[in-house]
Amino acid sequence: MSGETKGAGFADALLAELQFDEKGLIPAIAQQQDSGEVLMLAWMSAESIRETLSSGYVCYWSRSRGSLWRKGETSGHVQKLIELRYDCDDDAILLLIDQTGPACHTNRRSCFHKTVREGRVEILCAPEETVRSPEDRAGD
């Protein structure tokens, strides 16, 4: 697929390279493109990848709901796709994004808000003030 540009067969060529698990899913890490902050880990299906590429906004597969999950569809906390990368084994995706609002269903900027320091767990940031709708929570 090297050098191929976005066009009619682009998504098909990309999807043929990716290694999905037995459930047809692949892990996807969302990273803020300008700061490098890792915001969340979610799952994508072939259908959600197609929608992400065509819309320019990230769409995941919700394992808990068994359906597409258009990030920010109800809350407005969308993820604009800047770049999609995948690893050397073709079995993990890195999404460079511009995040609007918090990424985590706990209303924090990042899902990775807990750290282990000196033998104890610390919380790195408090929830933001905006109200999240239950429909926008991953639950995965």
Tens digit of pLDDT for each residue in 85-94?
Answer: 999 999 999 9
Report yes or no: 71 and 78 within 8 Å, Cβ to Cβ.
yes
Tens digit of pLDDT for each residue in 3-12?
Answer: 444 554 889 9
Using the 8-state DSSP alphabet, how is residue 25 labeled? -
Q: Half-sphere exposure of 71 toward its Cβ, with a 13 Å CA cutoff?
A: 34
Tens digit of pLDDT for each residue in 99-139?
Answer: 999 999 899 999 999 999 999 999 999 999 865 455 544 44
Tens digit of pLDDT for each residue in 59-86?
Answer: 999 999 999 999 998 889 999 999 999 9
Helix (H/G/I), strand (E/B), else coil: 3: coil
Helix (H/G/I), strand (E/B), else coil: 63: coil
Which pLDDT belongs to residue 26? 98
Which pLDDT belongs to residue 140? 44
Structure tokens at 75: 């809350």
Structure tokens at 139: 């639950």
Q: Which residue has the tokens 């239950």?
A: 134
